[in-house]
């Protein structure tokens, strides 16, 4: 177990990073970043800032004026901040949403470490994207970002399954057009039996099953889960959703979204500070996050 270093004393050299969103009261991000800073011996503190929808521009300009080194961005501001940024990372530009801002000359550069964090979390679980046939459940905001990531990471095919076919089709068309591909297809949730007879990676990106609605899954039929050989539920509370239980019932490897939450934060910290956080510290923080979410359920 890594020995905890002495808590950083805040002084005139302390770097400030933070989170803007509405709400921010229950965020786990301070646990991630302040623990990393403490363990690394970095003179840095991380603070959540509650920012109303109509104050986003003020918040970005104010943060730069106050010499804030970096920011995370959560709902509902992930797209709203973009007009006020100096630069955009190519993945974030295609997705049209950012969650990490890095201070550059004259403003901030926007990144989407939600998606790089998901990729990193999947790699940690030995779940690959490249050359895979993928089922994406849902066509909302999270699904949109994940669909772009899947194409960006060279998935062989992506089937977006959603209750509303029109919404799934609109997302598939947008991703195909933006990424100049044709690998993304749309279908209704109940049309899964008509998918090609293959083994799929499945990413569950809806809010179905989120605490306290723990007894629901977006697809309940056990036959669906027999089409899978690996799965991710981006929900992390509860730690095991009904979707995950249904996966495990037929031997499908599955993980929840806590790793994604961890690694989006780790990626942000590395971008802000130009450092690499080792696997041992990541594992230590992951355990702290598991304990914290278990207590709050």
Please identify every residue annotated as catalytic: 78
Do the beta carbons of residue 247 and residue 228 sit within 8 Å? yes
Beta-carbon contacts of 74 under 8 Å, excluding residues fewer than 6 positions away, are 19, 20, 21, 24, 27, 99
* Burial zone of 257 (CB within 10 Å; 0-12 exposed, 13-18 middle, 19+ buried): buried
Helix axes 279-296, 258-273, angle to 10 degrees: 130
Cα 128 to Cα 39, 203, 225, 258: the distances in Å are 30, 12, 18, 18
Whose structure tokens read 């990626």?
Answer: 267
Whole-number Å distance between alpha carbons of 39 and 12: 20
Whole-number Å distance between alpha carbons of 231 and 135: 9
Whole-number Å distance between alpha carbons of 174 and 144: 9
Whole-number Å distance between alpha carbons of 2 and 296: 26
Do the beta carbons of residue 218 and residue 191 sit within 8 Å? no
């Amino acid at each position: 177990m890594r020995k905890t270093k002495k808590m950083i004393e805040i002084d005139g050299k302390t770097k400030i990073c933070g989170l803007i969103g509405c709400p921010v009261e229950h965020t786990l991000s301070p646990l991630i970043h302040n623990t990393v800073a403490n363990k690394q011996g970095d003179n840095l503190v991380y603070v959540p800032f509650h920012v109303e929808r109509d104050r986003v521009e003020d918040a970005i300009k104010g943060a730069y004026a106050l010499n804030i080194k970096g920011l995370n961005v959560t709902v509902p501001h992930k797209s709203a901040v973009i007009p006020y940024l100096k630069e955009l990372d190519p993945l974030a530009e295609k997705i049209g949403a950012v969650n990490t801002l890095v201070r550059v000359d004259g403003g901030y550069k926007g990144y989407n470490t939600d998606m790089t964090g998901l990729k990193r979390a999947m790699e940690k679980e030995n779940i690959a994207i490249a050359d895979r046939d993928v089922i994406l459940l849902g066509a909302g905001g999270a699904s949109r970002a994940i669909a772009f990531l899947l194409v960006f990471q060279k998935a062989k095919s992506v089937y977006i399954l959603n209750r509303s076919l029109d919404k799934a089709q609109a997302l598939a068309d947008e991703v195909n057009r933006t990424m100049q591909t044709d690998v993304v297809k749309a279908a209704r949730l109940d049309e899964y039996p008509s998918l090609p007879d293959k083994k799929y990676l499945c990413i569950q990106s809806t809010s179905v099953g989120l605490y306290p609605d723990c007894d629901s899954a977006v697809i309940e039929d056990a036959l669906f889960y027999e089409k899978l050989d690996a799965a991710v539920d981006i929900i992390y509370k509860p730690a095991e959703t009904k979707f995950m239980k249904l996966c495990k019932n037929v031997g499908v490897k599955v993980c929840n979204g806590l790793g994604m939450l961890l690694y989006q934060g780790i990626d942000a910290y590395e971008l802000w500070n130009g450092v690499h956080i080792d696997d041992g510290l990541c594992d230590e923080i992951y355990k702290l996050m598991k304990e914290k979410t278990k207590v709050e359920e």
